């Protein structure tokens, strides 16, 4: 299964970013696929918080626009919402230890742990910090277009 990280969701939503066309094509291909794909819940929370933040985007996305975008993604027949399972802490603890994670990097470790718990084989992300988790294959679809 392929999971998608927050940054690609943001780029797919925000028409004013240079990577919009590639990001929206990536999300659309997952959305239309017959294969299951995953959005971790933390990525949905982070997406909403970032696109509606007036300190990041001027103008920021409206609350309605951001929620409608999330609703649209969740309408995919094949989307899986990644949540913590009963093994979350042992998996997360292992990733924290292995990656020597401290501070805000724990957010990425949480996403990696959720991916691990759901059998994700690839995470689509533009965030190189996920390289701290060698068992999670990361692909940056934005680089494919160059």
Omega before 59 within 30 of 0, i.e. cis: yes
43 contacts 111 by C-beta, under 8 angstroms: yes
Q: How confident is the model at residue 144 (pLDDT cuts 50, 70, 90)?
A: low
Sign of CA dihedral 70, 71, 74, 77: negative
- Can you tell me the mean pLDDT for 117-131? 94
Domain extent listing, the chain? 2-82+122-144
Domain 2-82+122-144 has CATH 3.40.50: yes
26 contacts 69 by C-beta, under 8 angstroms: no
List, for residues 94-107, the tens digit of each pLDDT value. 999 999 999 999 99
Mean pLDDT of the residues in the chain: 95
The residues that bridge with 4 in the sheet, in sequence order, are 124
């Amino acid at each position: 299964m392929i999971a998608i990280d927050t940054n690609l969701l943001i780029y797919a939503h925000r028409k004013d970013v240079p990577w919009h066309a590639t990001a929206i094509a990536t999300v659309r291909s997952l959305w239309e696929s017959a294969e299951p794909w995953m959005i971790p819940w933390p990525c949905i929370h982070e997406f909403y918080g970032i696109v509606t933040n007036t300190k990041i985007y001027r103008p920021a996305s409206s609350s309605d626009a951001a929620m409608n975008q999330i609703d649209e993604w969740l309408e995919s027949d094949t989307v899986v919402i990644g949540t913590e399972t009963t093994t979350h802490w042992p998996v997360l603890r292992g990733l924290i230890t292995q990656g020597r994670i401290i501070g805000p990097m724990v957010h990425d470790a949480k996403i990696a742990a959720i991916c691990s718990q759901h059998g994700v084989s690839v995470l689509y992300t533009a965030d190189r910090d996920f390289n701290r988790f060698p068992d999670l294959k990361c692909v940056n679809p934005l680089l494919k277009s160059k």
